[in-house]
Amino acid sequence: MTDGFQSCAITGSGGSGAVTAGMMVLDAAARAGCYGLMTRSAGPQIRGGESAAMLRFGASPVACMGDSFGILAALDWGNFFRFAGEIPLTAQTLILADPGAGKVPPQLEAYSEQIRWVNLRELADSLPGGRFNMVAVGAIAACAGLPLAAVLQAASAILRAKDAAVIDASHACISLGFQQFSSDGKEPLGKEPDGKKTTALPEVPRRWSISGNEAAGLGALRGGVRFVAAYPITPATEILEWLAPRIARLGGALLQAEDELASINMIIGSSFGGVPSLTATSGPGLSLMMEGLGLAVASETPVVLVNVMRGGPSTGIPTKSEQSDLNIALYGLHGDAPHLVLAALDIGDCVLTLHWATRLAEHLQTAAIVLSDQLLGQSRAIIDPPGLPELNLARRCMPLDQGGDYRRYQFTEDGISPISAPGVPGGSYTADGLEHNESGTPSSMAGDHAAQLAKRRDKLTRFDVGPLWAEISGEGDLCLLTWGSSHGAVLEAAATLNASGRPTRVIGLRLIAPLQRDALLAAISGTRVWVVELNQDGQLFHYLRSEAALPEHAMSFARPGPLPLRPGEILTAIAAEATDDHR
Amino acid sequence: MTTASSETATHSSTTLRAKDYKSEVKPVWCPGCGHFGVLAALTKAFAYLGLPKDEVVTVSGIGCSSRIPAYIDGYGFHGVHGRALALAAGLKAARPDLTLVVAGGDGDGFSIGGNHFLHACRRNMDMTYVVMDNEVYGMTKGQASPTTQPDWSHSKLTPRGTGVPRFYPAAIALAAGASFIARGFSGDPNELVRLLVQALEHPGFALVQVLSPCVTFRPEQKGWKQAVHPVAEPAPDDPGKAASLIQSDDGLAIGVLYAQRQPVYQPRNRAEAELAEIEAEFLL
């Protein structure tokens, strides 16, 4: 644990139980009082293929995976080579391997001295109902210094739907695996030598175990969303699957649509009916939803769309992450179509960002695109429960004493017109994607077009969004400006820079459009700016350039996914700045 | 059988007349367009049923016929091409208390919106879909639609005709699981009002294909006045019999082609939990 965190990667074939084992280790770390983060990686296969869980945990919140892993536990070697880029190893990495899993792959020949053998299969087979991934959980826990009691509690919790015999077998396997490394001279923390099942653990704060996709769903519910239209797509589907039963319990509804075109139009319909509404998708689906988003903008119908980014373009890399949908989110709509674009900065922030986006869309009567990505969506974190901010942003409803003079698209000082909903007497209107006048009557006259365009722009640009537009931390003459899941790696890079005597400021943009240009310019004033992001061409960098929101000397550090950004490569880029050319 | 030729409400305490449902917006339709008759029939049907103006919502896509929401004094949504049924499904799911009429044309409904049409039929949400079928794209000045005859060669886009068989709305609706299928003619307003009333009263998805002549790009459709005829027999409630009737149909038979009670899909639920209970699931 050189950096205050413990980290491990568990790899195996799909179905070997690598992800379940990772969940158990993460849960155990939480019960031992740690914060944690677990990311998943898999190929595009439906069943089989390769699968990996990558974990990092410690006494402080975990922002990202580190530059390398302390432990590699291989359940088997099937397709191990596919993880070569995702699981960096060092001379200090401890490799747990099962002699029954076959020959060690050539990629690990240089690390042969670091391999510690454990008979996962043989030990599992010695117990009735034993599973070798559970033996591995025990072995990993012992090597990582987790108390056995925490692991046993975690197993009970994760397997609670199973028969008692399954839980007992898992406990026995975990204990066996644990003993392999708790008695060989390497003392684990909180050792439980007799393998007791229910040893009390010290009191630890009650934290949340939550994935980014679950957090996005929860944020939407906090924001008041009570209708969702859904079409499955990786890696956004879990938002919808999590929401389906829960929104029903809250009196709302989720409707599985026939396609993305239907999804976006369904939520426009439900929102027109007065119910805050959301859909979730990923790149290809976002492309299909652009026409509908334009309709929401033109008709001033509030909708929220969560786009969980994956490698693109086209079908791209569906199971792995990238931050390359910013351009389409900003510019994909035809015509002059001002709308909101937000990005969540970490798993916990998915709750806040979705909550805020929903309320902003409702208040400003427009479309909000919220960008998440596979790395956020399909990772699970141990976090402190996110607070519930006061966001007094609601639909501005028409006054009930309108006296027959109700004009849906009435010009107001701030551009926000009072809205009605079907069933409200005196509030009737036709929402329209055609250009229209204040009453909603279709109009192709130049004056009406210019006035309505300006109204729809001004209501966004004149609105005071307050301090939530960005997360700003640290002071210094170096500024790392980033968005989305890259925020974690940037924070950690900045911590290293600060510790090495180079004071660094970090800005994570939460509201990307409309850009809070003046506030941003003030925040980066007097600093050397680096814009850091996970896409090939520096999409945020070029957007900020086009908005005249960057100083001439600003630098871009951008590279494509799917490998997540690591703190070390950001530091390397900054260190090499003198020899870099400007973009 | 319901009779609904009167302009006034006959079984409601309200006194709304058909003209009360008309807005002051002047239609963009060509003089003589069949859609005027559909608009008139719709407002008469609303008046007959005494529907509160604020609780009827008309939803449409794009095209000549899709302009209808602006011409009705009530809530409406004029959306984008082909997506009216999807928008209406979301609205109905969120607001089951409303009466929904979806209006559109043959291109909007059966070409760009074809997938939504299939799934609206099988989803069977409670709404009435009025398709004004003139076998041509009028708003873009005369291209072939899915219901156009394969040898119609008057479009610059398909100067040798489409060469593809026609789309038969009734047959496809039946195969896709629609629970009410009717065909009307805009030149027979009394019968059309009667069909619309039945469709509005039908619980579930009701398709009313209205033959509505395009006098500008398909002037020969003026001949529909003489060609249409009543359906040969009362509407069957058996899909097999309906399939037989529809297969032998010449496309000009007016009346209800199929009607059957089927479960109506409505996903809206009653609240049984607080958000705090759901948040508690995350606590370790």
Among A103, A108, A106, A76, which Cα is nearest to A89's?
A108
Interface test with A, best of B269, B270, B272 (most A CBs within 10 A): B269
* Amino acid in the structure at residue A422: P
Residue A39 has what pLDDT?
A: 96
Interface test with B, best of A225, A260, A265 (most B CBs within 10 A): A265
Q: Which residues of chain B neighbour A221 with C-beta distances below 8 Å?
A: 275, 278
pLDDT digits (tens, 9 = 90+) for A401-430: 777 789 999 999 999 999 999 999 999 999
pLDDT of A50 above 90 = no
pLDDT digits (tens, 9 = 90+) for B249-280: 999 999 999 999 999 999 877 899 999 999 99
pLDDT digits (tens, 9 = 90+) for A297-306: 999 999 999 9
Q: Do residue B95 and residue A273 have CB atoms under 8 angstroms apart?
A: yes
Q: Do residue A254 and residue B267 have CB atoms under 8 angstroms apart?
A: yes
Residue B61 has what pLDDT?
A: 97
Q: Do residue A430 and residue B78 have CB atoms under 8 angstroms apart?
A: yes
List, in sequence order, every beta strand (DSSP E) within chain B: 56-60, 75-78, 99-105, 127-133, 180-185, 205-211, 229-230, 253-259
DSSP character at residue A506: E
Q: Which residues of chain A neighbour B275 with C-beta distances below 8 Å?
A: 221-222, 250
| pLDDT band per the 50, 70, 90 thresholds, residue A200 | low
Cα distance from N-terminal residue to C-terminal residue, chain A: 38
Q: Do residue B275 and residue A222 have CB atoms under 8 angstroms apart?
A: yes
Residue B8 has what pLDDT?
A: 44
Q: What is the pTM of this model?
A: 0.95
| pLDDT band per the 50, 70, 90 thresholds, residue A204 | confident
Residue B219, preceding peptide bond in cis (omega within 30° of 0): no
**Contact by Cβ (8 Å): A549, A515:** yes
Per-residue pLDDT of chain B (284 residues; tens, 9 = 90+): 334 444 444 444 558 999 999 999 999 999 999 999 999 999 999 999 999 999 999 999 999 999 999 999 999 999 999 999 999 999 999 999 999 999 999 999 999 999 999 999 999 999 999 999 999 999 999 999 999 999 999 999 999 999 999 999 999 999 999 999 999 999 999 999 999 999 999 999 999 999 999 999 999 999 999 999 999 888 889 999 999 999 999 999 999 999 999 999 998 778 999 999 999 999 99
Strand pairing class (A504-509; A478-483): parallel
CA angle B95, B99, B102 (to 5 degrees): 100
Sheet holding A555-558, edge to edge: A470-473, A504-509, A478-483, A528-533, A555-558
H-run or E-run covering A121: helix A120-125
**Contact by Cβ (8 Å): A251, B270:** yes
Nearest CA in chain B to A158: B284
Q: How far is A266 from chain B (nearest CA, A)?
A: 4
**Contact by Cβ (8 Å): A171, A131:** no
List, in sequence order, every beta strand (DSSP E) within A374-501: 380-383, 430-432, 470-473, 478-483
Q: How far is A269 from chain B (nearest CA, A)?
A: 4
CA–CA dist B109, A9 (Å, integer): 52
**Smallest Cβ distance to B87: which of A209, A269, A275?**
A269
Q: Do residue A262 and residue B119 have CB atoms under 8 angstroms apart?
A: yes
Residue B241 has what pLDDT?
A: 95
pLDDT of A581 above 70 = no
pLDDT digits (tens, 9 = 90+) for A226-252: 999 999 999 999 999 999 999 999 999
**Smallest Cβ distance to A433: which of B79, B82, B86?**
B79
Prediction ipTM score: 0.95
Name which residue leads in pLDDT, A504 or A13: A504
* B110-139 residues touching A, CB cutoff 8 A: 115-116, 118-119
Q: Which residues of chain B neighbour A263 with C-beta distances below 8 Å?
A: 86
Establish if B248 touches chain A: CB-CB under 8 angstroms: no
pLDDT of A582 above 50 = no
**Contact by Cβ (8 Å): A519, A465:** no
Q: Which residues of chain A neighbour B53 with C-beta distances below 8 Å?
A: 428
Alpha helices in A183-322 (DSSP H): 212-223, 237-249, 260-272, 283-299
Q: Do residue A430 and residue B59 have CB atoms under 8 angstroms apart?
A: no
Residue B14 has what pLDDT?
A: 54
Q: What is the mean pLDDT of chain A?
A: 93
Nearest CA in chain B to A382: B284
